[in-house]
A = this chain, B = another copy of it.
């Protein structure tokens, strides 16, 4: 073990992520993550201002990876509708496979810097192609709800096939329903990260 680790920041995030996976969002400590990496507890403070900063950084890394997954999932199809459904299926499967990590990702509050690619943005691009303005948050809400109910064990589905099927059924229903009753195209919904971008842009 070299004196200078070299990748300590990433290694601490890895260890913390694994601990979240094993013990839940709050069942671990900075000291424990340091020990796993093989480093003294104080070493972490050269990379994170506090335990809380580490948690936020982890949340952001996880969300960015989810955004990448969404991009990949949508890339397997051409039709925008199929792409949206593929994103949703991937999102829901991910939440079931990694429930504690996904809960942490969404519960860590405002990010320190914009998340790229943000899952919401990946979805919004596809919905724009479907000519369903102001649908992005509602479609996101639908897939998010299904994902969280399953991740929290409040709802169960037998096997990945059933999960994919129900996800498609829900998202298809939302898309069809929104298409059937279009309304005022001016969205009233906003996201934290979009706000920040806009604020930046205006300066």
Shortest Cβ distance from A173 into B: residue: B177
* Whole-angstrom distance between the Cβ of A111 and the nearest chain B Cβ: 10
Chain A at the B interface: mostly helix, strand, loop or mixed?
A: helix
Q: Beta-carbon contacts of A91-135 to B below 8 Å, as 1s and 0s?
A: 000000000000100110110000000001000000000000000
Asked if A201 CB lies within 8 Å of chain B CBs, one says no
Contact of A156 among B138, B169, B191 (CB under 8 A): B191
**Residues of B contacting A162 in the complex (Cβ-Cβ under 8 angstroms):** 188-189
- A149, B148: Cα distance in complex, Å: 10
Q: Contact at B188–A177, with CB atoms within 8 Å? A: no
Q: Which residues of A contact B (CB under 8 A)?
A: 26, 103, 106-107, 109-110, 120, 137-138, 140-149, 152-158, 162, 165-166, 169-170, 172-178, 180-181, 183, 188-192, 195
